[in-house]
Structure 1
Amino acid sequence: MAGLEALAALETSGSNPDVTLLYDINGLAADAPGWFDRTMEFVGEYGILLGLVLVALWTWWGARKRETLDDAASSVAAVVWAPLAAAVAVLVNVPIRGFVERPRPFRDHDGLTVLVDGKNDFSFVSDHATLAMAMGAALFVAHRRLGFAAIGLAVLEGFCRVFMGVHYPTDVVGGFALGTAVALLLSPLASALITPLARAVGRTRRVSWLVWAPSAVPAAVEIPEARGASGGAEERDLAA
Structure 2
Amino acid sequence: MNYELFKAINGLSHHSAILDSIMVFITEYSIYAYALFLLAMWLFGSTKGRQNALYAGFTGIAALIVNYLITKVYVEPRPFVEHTVHTLIPHAADASFPSDHTTGALAISIAILFRNKKLGWPLVIFGLLTGFSRIWVGHHYPIDVLGSIIVALVVGFLLFRFSNVLRPIVDLIVRIYESIVHKNKSTNHNL
Normalised to the residue count of structure 1, the TM-score between the two structures is: 0.68
1:76 positional shift: 2.0
Map 1:148-187; keep pairs closer than 5 Å: 148-187=121-160
3-state SS of paired residue (1:80): helix
How far apart in 2 are the matches of 1:31 and 1:209?
Answer: 56
3-state SS of paired residue (1:139): helix
Question: Aligned residue for 2:174?
Answer: 198
How far apart in 1 are the matches of 2:8 and 2:183?
Answer: 49
Distance change >3 Å, CA 58–CA 148, structure 1 → 2:
farther
1:108 is aligned to 2:82: yes
Judge conservation of contact 1:137–1:151 (CA < 8 Å) in 2: yes
Q: Once superposed, what is the RMSD of the aligned Cα atoms?
A: 2.2
How far apart in 2 are the matches of 1:59 and 1:149?
Answer: 15
Higher mean displacement: 156-165 or 77-86: 77-86
3-state SS of paired residue (2:97): coil
Which residue among 12, 31, 35 is the counterpart of 1:53? 35
3-state SS of paired residue (1:156): helix
Question: Aligned residue for 2:9?
Answer: 25
How far apart in 2 are the matches of 1:37 and 1:57?
Answer: 28
How many corresponding residue pairs?
181
Distance change >3 Å, CA 98–CA 62, structure 1 → 2:
same
How far apart in 2 are the matches of 1:209 and 1:136?
Answer: 32
1:44 positional shift: 0.8
How far apart in 2 are the matches of 1:201 and 1:59?
Answer: 13
1:92 positional shift: 1.9
Map 1:22-171; keep pairs closer than 5 Å: 22-33=6-17, 35-46=18-29, 48-60=30-42, 63-64=45-46, 72=47, 74-110=48-84, 112-171=85-144
Larger Cα-atom Rg = 1
Runs of 4+, deviation exceeding 4 Å: none
Higher mean displacement: 191-200 or 95-104: 191-200
Q: Deviations over 1:186-229 (max 9, x none)?
A: 23122343124323443x2x41499xxxxxxxxxxxxxxxxxxx
Question: Aligned residue for 2:188?
Answer: none
What residue ranges of structure 2 are gaps of 5+ in the alignment?
185-191
What residue ranges of structure 1 are gaps of 5+ in the alignment?
1-15, 65-71, 211-240
Q: Deviations over 1:89-139 (max 9, x none)?
A: 1122112012111100122223x3211213210100000011001110111
How far apart in 1 are the matches of 2:125 and 2:168?
Answer: 28
Distance change >3 Å, CA 26–CA 41, structure 1 → 2:
same
How far apart in 2 are the matches of 1:209 and 1:140?
Answer: 32
Q: Deviations over 1:137-180 (max 9, x none)?
A: 11113321111111111011000000011101110011111122
How far apart in 1 are the matches of 2:98 and 2:121?
Answer: 23
Q: Deviations over 1:22-56 (max 9, x none)?
A: 111101103223x542342122122x223223433
Q: What letter corresponds to residue 50 of structure 1 in structure 2?
A: Y
